[in-house]
Amino acid sequence: MHLEVAVAAIRDSENRFLIAKRPEHLHQGGLWEFPGGKVEPGESIKQTLVREINEELGIEITGARPLISIPHQYSDRSVLLHVWLVDQFEGKPEGKEGQKICWVEQDNLTDYSFPAANRTIISAISLPSSYVITPQKDTLSELIEFLKRHLNKETQLVQFRAPTWSEQQYLTAAQEVMELCGSFGAKTILNAAPTLLQQIDAAGIHLTQQQLSPLKQRPIDEGKMLGVSCHNLAEIQHAQQIGADYISLSPVLPTTTHPEANPLGWPKFSELVGQCAVPVFALGGMQHSDFQRALDAGAQGIAGVRLFNEPCNLND
């Protein structure tokens, strides 16, 4: 049976996150963690979160939402972390139980030593709630023109996908795509061979199932993001075994790009997400109106090509 724990990823107005150092005598002592505590009988996750954060830090949570649930097996125990993103609170945090606390810039969190289960939290807070995939275009000029029309300040993560182009065409285009996306503050993930990162400094690689199948270990450095396309539990488990930072799970709904595929539907999608220990994007037939449904199913957010055509702030 899992030990259920409510965890708070507390973010301030400067996009810093609050972390605390575990006392040496506790399990995983001496490591940094996102604060929280064990769910007591009869408590909801949110009730535990509010109580624990008030007891540990002396603040009152006024705004929070579920971010990710993470099952994790340590050598001596099994835990299920229910992680909530807290971006509204009253009071000034302090270590009420004598623990050391500090605010850390999002990009600097990897400089600290965390329990293994907390590492997925860093992935989740580093990822946006929408993941945009480029549509197939015949030429680079058409692609760039499309991106210029549809990129906006809400676009934070773009997967550059062009399966019909040669590697040289792709490599040449990738540099322009990265520069254009970067001008809007967006990171670019390459849907290409992992070795391409030796030639171009993109944010990461997204693997197809064909690329994933022969792999027995992570094909890129830890400093880059690794995404994987998955469609069932076996593929999810394989992606996790090689150290994927996130997956896209599809197709959730019927899609015009793959009309022959049998959609998972939201119940099956939610069931699979519950067995996944990394952030999951819902893919296949997604529109912005599906965003809340995806969050309710446990997803990080939604992914798709059509998201470019429907600019909006998913956090409104």
Domain boundary residue, one of 117, 141, 175 = 117
Give the range of the structural domain holding residue 99, as residue numbers without chain letter: 3-117
**CATH code, 87:** 3.90.79.10
Rounded CA separation 299/68 (Å)? 7
105 lies in the same domain as 137: no
**CATH code, 236:** 3.20.20.70
159 lies in the same domain as 304: yes
82 lies in the same domain as 23: yes
**Averaged pLDDT, 146-166:** 93
Chain center to CA of 230: 15
Strands 32-33 and 16-21, bridge-based pairing? antiparallel
301 lies in the same domain as 165: yes
* In-domain check, residue 211: yes
* In-domain check, residue 123: no
73 lies in the same domain as 204: no
- 37: tokens are 């505590």
96 lies in the same domain as 150: no
201 lies in the same domain as 150: yes
Could you report the per-residue pLDDT of 94-135, keeping only the tens digit for each? 999 999 999 999 989 989 999 877 788 998 999 999 999 999
152 lies in the same domain as 299: yes
Identify the pLDDT of residue 312. Answer: 47
Percent of the chain residues past pLDDT 90, beyond the cut: 76
Q: Is the pTM of this model over 0.85?
A: yes
Identify the pLDDT of residue 1. Answer: 62
Q: Which residues pair with 64 in a beta bridge?
A: 86
* In-domain check, residue 85: yes
* In-domain check, residue 76: yes
Residue 265 backbone class (left: φ over 0; alpha: ψ -120 to 50; beta: rest): left
Structurally, how many domains does the chain consist of? 2
CB 191 within 8 A of CB 206: yes
* In-domain check, residue 213: yes
Rounded CA separation 313/130 (Å)? 10
Identify the pLDDT of residue 255. Answer: 82
* In-domain check, residue 124: no
* In-domain check, residue 227: yes
151 lies in the same domain as 77: no
Could you report the per-residue pLDDT of 165-221, keeping only the tens digit for each? 999 999 999 999 999 999 999 999 999 999 999 999 999 999 999 999 999 999 999
156 lies in the same domain as 286: yes
